[in-house]
Amino acid sequence: MIIVAGQWISKVEEFSGKFRNLTGLMEDGSAWLQWALLERQLVMEARSESDLLARMQRGLHCCALMTIEALDLTAHPRRMMELDDEVIKVVSQAVSSRIDEDRDKAWSELAEAGIQNFSTLKDGKDILEQLKVEDCSVFSTLSLGDLICLTALSSEDSPLSTCASPGMQHKAADFAVSLSQSCPEFSDACGFFCHHASVSKERSQSAVAEAIKHLWLRLAPLVNGTLETMTMPRVDSSEALTAQIETRVFGGEPLGFATKHQALRVLSSNIDSDCDDVEWAQAARDVLMDVRCMIRPGNAMEAVLSQDGQKRSVEYVSDEASAVLDCSTSGLVTIADFSR
């Protein structure tokens, strides 16, 4: 055990402050407790000031990932979006600062922090280079921390993007579409990929609109509402929806989901309309039918699809907070919580 000198205390406080910023939105103290325990261990094991700083830097990166792992994304998806930039920055710095020196060691240190399956990403760049967009099986066991790092690889603003070729960044963006269709359990994490796909200037508008559309289908069941049968204006086809997304997102105008039921309008209107795009309408119905599997346990919410001739209605029952889907001008799909 070592005695902490005065100048060390300031360093400890500096790193604690950074970690506090990452965990400030947490309702419970689990993440903060993780940091406190790790902080004590770091101080007791450090042999010098430089050793302490190095240990604390690694600890900060690891705790940041553990914090994200601890978040209940189904219950608090908005918080994940708010933590996005800071976490990606921390994780990117953690890996990119050592990627040339000792990449395998850097990945293994992150794996030791308790991020399951993280070691499968130590050759993440190579995986992306070889990725076939239509095959998501290689990613089926990845943790959220893994997905965050893959997002960092595809982000133009990330230090890791300097290690990625334009072709690899495009594959990471294309992966958003495939992931949203094949791995619904990672629908929230998929939002990061869709965001980075949308801000890439080299991506076509139609490809981004397609990614957002599929993400919409997966996130729609997370929207809570009061007991109400929703009557929605008609949208004739998925082509009309795609055009609407392209115009509003790329024209710099938010999609404008201002009320708690508007987020499901496109889905419901396609179900209710005489839509020629049968496959898209069926996909919307399938997602709504999967609501019991997607929604958080304990949330008293039901989706009922009734058919009266050609008319179908959707009813939602919830005794908890309402939420709406929104789409920012950058194309980032977010979920905002609203109290009753």
Q: Residue 289's closest CA among 309, 265, 271?
A: 271
Reported as a single tens digit per residue, the pLDDT across 17-58 is 555 544 443 444 444 444 455 555 555 566 666 666 666 655
Identify which of 322, 199, 312 has the alpha carbon closest to the alpha carbon of residue 249.
199
Q: With cut-offs at 50, 70 and 90, classify the pLDDT of residue 14.
A: low
Q: Which of 195, 199, 208, 325 is nearest to 256 (CA)?
A: 325
**Separation of alpha carbons 340 and 326, rounded Å:** 18
Question: Which residue reads 């179900």 in tokens?
Answer: 271
Q: What is the mean pLDDT of the chain?
A: 39
* pLDDT band for position 251 (cuts 50, 70, 90): very low
Q: Which pLDDT does position 81 carry in this prediction?
A: 41
pLDDT tens digits, residue range 135-149?
A: 333 333 333 334 434
- DSSP secondary structure of 59-122: HHHHHHHHHHHHS-TTT-HHHHHHHHHHHHHHHHHHHHTTHHHHHHHHHHHHHHTT-TTGGGGT
- Choose between 57 and 2: higher pLDDT: 57
**What pLDDT does residue 47 have?**
64
Gap between the Cα atoms of 28 and 66, Å rounded:
14
